Amino acid sequence: MEHHYKTSGTCSREIIFEIEDGKVKNLRFVGGCNGNLQGIGALCEGQKVEDIIARVEGISCGGRPTSCPDQLAKALKAAVNA
């Protein structure tokens, strides 16, 4: 099942991903810093949801209280708690 999460407070506008057997698959960001977000997607591919959340939750960006990785943690939490 594909999940769509509308981000808040970041340059990216949306995060799209799947969770299969507790692992992230097909992670994509819409908008934002393309190269960096492709890198995050590649690094997270096949990783356990809880491991990703533990690593990226709370990261800030440019003085903002959130970031694209932090928004990813929020998206993953929302998906597993839905």
Work out the average pLDDT over 27-37.
96
Residue 74 has pLDDT above 90, yes or no: yes
CB 54 within 8 A of CB 72: no
Per-residue confidence (pLDDT) for residue 16, from 0 to 100: 98
The rounded distance, in Å, linking the Cα atoms of 12 and 1 is 22
Domains identified in the chain and CATH numbers: 2-80 (3.30.390)
Per-residue confidence (pLDDT) for residue 82, from 0 to 100: 85
Residue 69 has pLDDT above 90, yes or no: yes
Per-residue confidence (pLDDT) for residue 6, from 0 to 100: 98
Per-residue confidence (pLDDT) for residue 64, from 0 to 100: 94
- As a whole number, the mean pLDDT across the chain is 97
Angle at 49 between CA 19 and CA 18, to 5 degrees: 20
